[in-house]
Amino acid sequence: MKNRFVRFVYIFLLLGVSSTILANGKPLDSLAVAAGKEFKRIVVLEIKDKKVADSLWAEAQRLYTGPTRFYHNLEHISNFYDQLTKCKDQVSDWNALVIAAVYHDIIYGSEDRRDEERSAELAVQRLTAAGFPVAFIKKVEALVLATKAHALSEDNDTNLFNDADMSIVGLDREYYKRYVGNVRKEFSNSPNFDAGRKRVMQYFLNMPRIFQTDFFNKLYESSARENIKWEISTLQ
């Protein structure tokens, strides 16, 4: 029962923020461009095939853009990549984390609500077909699946990866307000949105630590708690 609630909490939290990119005719921001370049650099490094690297990134761009992508879009990948660069010196397998970051939400809105599993499956399929080493593929798969529950892991890379994914709650207030507004849009058909959202946000406030790693805890824990308190005060 507890695991189900934790899963509900993270699904509820990680929905909605900002607008879609490219689908609305907007260019990629500089961080998305940087993420794409790094993604392709790593693919070329691993398999020595630039055409495959270009093809994999083009597919990622296509799947991350569209009118239903409110949070799980290229802006999210931009922020995710930005957060990972901040803790790069603490990461053991940088290449795996970058590839996993691109694939972690590549499938979104599936009818069976198995987005993480389907994203991991697509990553395994594409990386296997491209000729990546088996150990590398397994690491990417595990990282993608870890975002399903964001549970504390014995693997530091996994904890850094999950915390980078969660960083939205600790960003500046204006960005957070946009995020909250789009969460509401995402759940526009829910008559009990405020009550459910308040329960989720209170759950986070009651946690000993929102961010599992010392790095992200020091960086965002305080602002995340202030953002959440502010949001709770706005809910009915």
- Inside any domain, residue 212: yes
- Inside any domain, residue 84: yes
CATH no. for residue 230? 1.10.1300.10
Range of the domain at 116: 6-234
Structural tokens at position 25: 């005719």
Is residue 182 very low, low, confident or very high in pLDDT (cuts 50, 70, 90)? Answer: confident
Report the C-alpha gap between 1 and 3 in whole angstroms.
Answer: 5
In tens, the pLDDT along 117-161 reads 999 999 999 999 999 999 999 999 999 999 998 889 999 999 999
In tens, the pLDDT along 195-228 reads 998 998 998 899 899 999 999 999 999 999 999 9
Nearest residue to 102 (alpha-carbon basis) of 77, 136, 69, 132 = 77
Work out how many domains the chain is built from and give that number.
1
pLDDT of residue 236: 81
- Inside any domain, residue 1: no
Report the C-alpha gap between 100 and 104 in whole angstroms.
Answer: 6
